[in-house]
Amino acid sequence: MTDKYCVIGNPIAHSKSPDIHAAFAAATGQDIAYERRLAPLDGFADTVRDLVAQGYRGANVTVPFKLEAAALATRLEERARLAGAVNTLRFDGSEIVGDNTDGPGLVADIVRNAGVPLAGKRILLLGAGGAARGVILPFLREKPEAIVIANRTRATADALVAHFADHVAYPGQIAACGFADIAGPFDVVVNATSASLSADLPPVPASAFRAGTLALDMMYGKEPTPFMVFAARHGATVRDGLGMLVEQAAEAFAVWRGVRPDTADVLAYMRAAS
Ligand code: NDP
């Protein structure tokens, strides 16, 4: 019997996840169906209960429900608990298991697709919202020399440093600063602010980059973001968030199906289609 999955969000019409999961299913020979599901803004929990009743096996969760999904889950994987957000639900009998594959997806895109190992590297993370929080544990597992979190609201970055204090290899492996105090250059700079959504450049100094810095914007779209244009002008190799999107989907597929699909063809297809 075909196993059913979906992605829940509001809005949801723009989501590329059904195309990505259809391609993974075809490539791996897994018999699944995957669709978009619009949940009312006050109706996320009802939507999930409805899916469970209809025999769905799991769901992805996107804006604005990732925090609510974490609260609704009856069990959280460690990476979801520390992220405080859930993008992948697995329905297992009476259990609703919450997971977060956004951070592992970003790391897979940087390490495998961009070919940049993170061990011993200096990483600058711009932003301290949900997306930033989700990548910190997966980054730490790669054993970087340092992760500096720069945020417009400094207190939020400080809170993230405290939140992950038990997971650092040594004091100072994670630090916080305001944008004005960024002391570069860095090997990897990740824009996890939502500035690109409004075509704004986060106030990152040019000194954050050097020739060969990998500058990745979590946002994706047809045009390079102002952050990507600025970083390229200062010598960085730039990348958008499409690879992260495809890799987080592959991680979710692995959570559900126990097989991690190859992503290269799907990423190339999505890149050509965008
Ligand atoms: P949140 O709303 O949780 O956090 C937004 C962050 O951006 C905060 O740190 C905020 O700072 C900062 N910010 C907003 N505007 C500006 C600005 N003009 N200048 C500097 N900082 C700013 O958003 P998310 O963390 O959920 O999402 C962030 C981005 O990541 C979005 O673009 C989203 O589309 C993308 N994303 C991509 C994914 C992918 O698969 N490719 C997956 C998940 C997210 P402050 O604290 O001061 O308000």
For domain 3-100, give the CATH number: 3.40.50.10860
Residue 224: partners with Cβ closer than 8 Å, 6 or more residues away: 232, 238, 240
Whether residue 196 has its Cβ less than 6 Å from ligand 1: yes
Distance 102 CA to ligand 1 centre (A): 13
What span, in angstroms and rounded, lies between the C-alpha atoms of 100 and 225? 25
Domain ranges (residues) in the chain: 3-100, 103-242
- Name residues whose C-beta falls within 8 Å of residue 227's C-beta, 6 or more positions apart in sequence: 126, 191, 195, 196, 201, 202, 204, 215, 217
Angstrom distance (rounded) from CA 133 to CA 103: 9
Q: Residue 51: which region, alpha, beta or left (left: phi > 0; alpha: psi -120 to 50)?
A: alpha
Each of the 274 residues of the chain gets a pLDDT tens digit; together they read 899 999 999 999 999 999 999 999 999 999 999 999 999 999 999 999 999 999 999 999 999 999 999 999 999 999 999 999 999 999 999 999 999 999 999 999 999 999 999 999 999 999 999 899 999 999 999 999 999 999 999 999 999 999 999 999 999 999 999 999 999 999 999 999 999 989 999 999 999 999 999 999 999 988 999 999 999 999 999 999 999 999 999 999 999 999 999 999 999 999 998 7
The contacts of residue 257 (CB under 8 Å, 6+ apart) are: 28, 30, 32
Look at residue 240 and give its three-state secondary structure.
Answer: coil
Q: 57 with 40: CB under 8 angstroms?
A: no
**Topology alike, domains 3-100 and 103-242:** yes
| Helices 264-273 and 242-257, packing angle to 10 deg | 140
Residue 102 counted as an annotated binding residue: yes
Residue nearest atom 4 in ligand 1 by C-alpha distance: 129
Ligand 1 atom 29: residue of nearest CA: 194
103-242: CATH topology is Rossmann fold (3.40.50)
Which residues fall within 8 angstroms of residue 42, CB to CB, at 6 or more apart?
none
Give residue 255 CA to ligand 1 midpoint distance, Å: 26
Q: Contact, 216 vs 188, CB < 8 A?
A: yes
